[in-house]
């Protein structure tokens, strides 16, 4: 086991944080059953500080591990046979291959890109944070997720490909069929790998990108995208429905996650979604009301109008040693303040690193040494909201234990 800072934590390479070691992992397609989710929650209680998170990219994190307990948690997770993949994996939407409103199934293209990357020896030659998203569209699209390479379905057989940022900020190179798009992705990954393990797409020269664009058909301007919420009922292709919930601020106790999984034990599968989402598939319809009731009792988000969905909080204190306030405590106060009506997103960043920054219009409360500041991005908050945020940030102020993560 190695411990690193500055790279993505994995099951075998935990990251040191303010509350101990943290591991992150993503179950493979179809592998996260209620029984396995229950076991993950129990293992987090046994080996960590009990906190489990679903990240803004829909991955699982277990917090509060020690040098002794992290390998034990790792062994338990490996035993669960979650299909954890090694090397570059293209990220797909939570309901990939299943959503009734999906434009195209991204799973075959994701498999092709991962396989080609492995065949070309690229898997371990890339910077650890290099990411590829392949978005089939639908209600739970990936438009606001940033990636080095973004691929989005235009139709059942056509895909657009771009680099850097989310859908609004990416440089779109053009469109092609699945094979053309996969080849272009591999060329870009090859360019990154050839330039060294720290290379990211923003370092690629414009003439290289112009050459790639010349081999693709032009792509039309992109329509504006909405902010997808994982909470609600989502129709699936097979006629059934997925029931969506979210963890408040992406975090829950392992024992609560285990209790949720127990209530969903007759479901066939659980999928993780950006925004702390838990999607339950294959649950007998008559059990959905009881599962919603359990989720509410556990204080999970079960209602699409829950104001907590408008708040994005960074890890904050005590989880992050750089934090200048307890971001989740500010979030809880804000959610019950009556000051949010769903028209505005609030980002709570307990230091100037601005982790977990969401796309689109928002107001951000930023922890600073000499008092919190507010930044507005295409949003005009009411005076009362501004005053409340400033006051709550100071009320939940903490002393950082190091300058940054
Ligand atoms: S924004 Fe700052 S305090 Fe919050 S998680 Fe990032 S480094 Fe930690």
pLDDT tens column, 58-104: 999 999 999 999 999 999 999 999 999 877 889 999 999 999 999 99
Phi first, then psi: give them for residue 387, nearest 5 degrees. Answer: -65, -40
- How many structural domains does the chain have? 3
Q: How far apart are CA 75 and CA 14, in angstroms?
A: 13
| 398 within ligand 1 shell (Cβ under 6 A) | no
Q: How far apart are CA 350 and CA 377, in angstroms?
A: 17
Ligand 1 atom nearest the C-alpha of 349 is: 1
Judgement on whether residues 328 and 376 belong to the same structural domain of the protein: yes
Query: Cα(209) to centroid of ligand 1, in Å?
Result: 33
Which of residues 285, 304, 323 is at a domain's end? 304
The reported pLDDT for the residue numbered 259 is 98
Q: How far apart are CA 60 and CA 216, in angstroms?
A: 36
- 220 located within any domain: no
Strand, helix or coil for residue 153: strand
Judgement on whether residues 169 and 130 belong to the same structural domain of the protein: yes
Which of residues 304, 331, 365 is at a domain's end? 304
Query: Cα(403) to centroid of ligand 1, in Å?
Result: 10
**Which CATH number do you get for residue 165?**
3.30.413.10
| 349 within ligand 1 shell (Cβ under 6 A) | yes
Judgement on whether residues 300 and 328 belong to the same structural domain of the protein: no
- 131 located within any domain: yes
Judgement on whether residues 297 and 347 belong to the same structural domain of the protein: no
Judgement on whether residues 127 and 198 belong to the same structural domain of the protein: yes
Nearest residue (CA) to ligand 1, atom 6 = 355
Ligand 1 atom nearest the C-alpha of 405 is: 7
- Which stretches of the chain score pLDDT less than 70? 1-7, 196-199, 402-405
The reported pLDDT for the residue numbered 356 is 86
What is the β-pairing status of strands 373-377 and 159-163?
unpaired
Query: Cα(405) to centroid of ligand 1, in Å?
Result: 7
The reported pLDDT for the residue numbered 405 is 42
Choose which residue among 5, 331, 355, 369 to substitute to test ligand 1 binding: the one with the highest number of ligand atoms within 8 A of its C-beta.
355
Looking from the CA of 399 toward its CB, the CA atoms found within 13 Å total 1
E strand residue ranges, 198-310: 232-235, 241-246, 251-253, 269-273, 277-281
Judgement on whether residues 101 and 208 belong to the same structural domain of the protein: yes
Ligand 1 atom nearest the C-alpha of 404 is: 7
The reported pLDDT for the residue numbered 143 is 95
Of 38, 56, 81, give the one whose Cα is nearest residue 270. 38
- 366 located within any domain: yes
Judgement on whether residues 368 and 390 belong to the same structural domain of the protein: yes
- Are 281 and 239 spatial neighbours (Cβ–Cβ below 8 Å)? no
Ligand 1 atom nearest the C-alpha of 350 is: 3
Query: Cα(358) to centroid of ligand 1, in Å?
Result: 14
- 50 located within any domain: yes
Judgement on whether residues 137 and 159 belong to the same structural domain of the protein: yes
- 375 located within any domain: yes
- 27 located within any domain: yes
333-380 pLDDT, tens per residue? 999 999 998 888 999 999 999 998 888 889 999 999 999 999 999 999
Query: Cα(319) to centroid of ligand 1, in Å?
Result: 9
Query: Cα(96) to centroid of ligand 1, in Å?
Result: 31
The reported pLDDT for the residue numbered 179 is 97
Judgement on whether residues 106 and 181 belong to the same structural domain of the protein: yes
Strand, helix or coil for residue 294: helix
- 400 located within any domain: no
Which of residues 263, 279, 304 is at a domain's end? 304
The reported pLDDT for the residue numbered 6 is 47
The reported pLDDT for the residue numbered 140 is 97
Q: How far apart are CA 294 and CA 179, in angstroms?
A: 45
The reported pLDDT for the residue numbered 43 is 98
Judgement on whether residues 136 and 63 belong to the same structural domain of the protein: no
Ligand 1 atom nearest the C-alpha of 321 is: 8
Q: Domain range holding 337?
A: 308-395
| 322 within ligand 1 shell (Cβ under 6 A) | yes
| 320 within ligand 1 shell (Cβ under 6 A) | yes
Of 381, 322, 392, give the one whose Cα is nearest residue 350. 322
Choose which residue among 56, 350, 403 to substitute to test ligand 1 binding: the one with the highest number of ligand atoms within 8 A of its C-beta.
350
Judgement on whether residues 268 and 370 belong to the same structural domain of the protein: no
Judgement on whether residues 53 and 131 belong to the same structural domain of the protein: no
The reported pLDDT for the residue numbered 193 is 87
- 209 located within any domain: yes
């Amino acid at each position: 086991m190695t411990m690193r800072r500055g790279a993505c934590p994995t099951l075998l390479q935990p990251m040191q944080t303010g509350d101990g070691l943290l591991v992150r992992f993503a179950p493979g397609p179809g592998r996260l059953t209620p029984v396995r989710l229950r076991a993950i929650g129990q293992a987090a209680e046994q080996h960590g500080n009990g906190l489990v998170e679903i990240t803004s990219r829909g991955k699982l994190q277990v917090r509060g591990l020690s040098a002794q307990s992290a390998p034990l948690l790792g062994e338990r997770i490996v035993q669960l046979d979650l299909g954890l993949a090694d090397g570059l994996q293209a990220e797909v939407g939570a309901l990939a291959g299943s959503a009734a409103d999906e434009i195209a199934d991204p799973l075959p293209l994701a498999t092709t890109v991962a396989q080609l990357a492995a065949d070309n020896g690229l898997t371990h030659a890339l910077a650890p944070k290099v990411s590829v998203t392949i978005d089939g569209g639908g209600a739970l699209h990936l438009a606001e997720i940033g990636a080095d390479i973004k691929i989005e379905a235009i139709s059942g057989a056509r895909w657009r490909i771009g680099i850097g940022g989310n859908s609004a900020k990416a440089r779109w190179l053009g469109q092609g069929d699945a094979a053309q798009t996969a080849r272009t992705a591999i060329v870009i990954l090859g360019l990154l790998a050839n330039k060294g393990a720290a290379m990211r797409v923003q370092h690629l020269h414009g003439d290289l990108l112009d050459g790639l664009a010349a081999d693709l058909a032009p792509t039309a301007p992109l329509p504006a995208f909405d902010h997808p919420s994982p909470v609600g009922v989502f129709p699936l292709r097979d006629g059934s429905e997925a029931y969506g919930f979210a963890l408040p601020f992406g975090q829950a106790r392992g024992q609560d996650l285990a209790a949720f999984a127990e209530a969903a034990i007759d479901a066939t599968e659980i999928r993780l979604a950006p925004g702390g989402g838990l999607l339950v598939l294959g649950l007998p319809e008559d059990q959905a009301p009881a599962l919603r009731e359990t989720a509410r009792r556990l204080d999970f988000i079960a209602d699409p109008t829950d104001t907590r969905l408008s708040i994005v909080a960074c890890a904050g204190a005590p989880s992050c040693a750089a934090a200048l306030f307890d971001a989740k405590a500010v979030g809880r106060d804000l959610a019950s303040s009556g000051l949010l009506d769903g028209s505005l997103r609030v980002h709570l960043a307990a230091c100037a690193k601005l982790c977990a920054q969401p796309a689109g219009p928002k107001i951000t409360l930023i922890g600073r040494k000499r008092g919190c500041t507010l930044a507005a991005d295409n949003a005009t908050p009411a005076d009362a909201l501004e005053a409340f945020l400033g006051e709550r940030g100071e009320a939940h102020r903490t002393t950082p234990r190091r300058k940054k993560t």
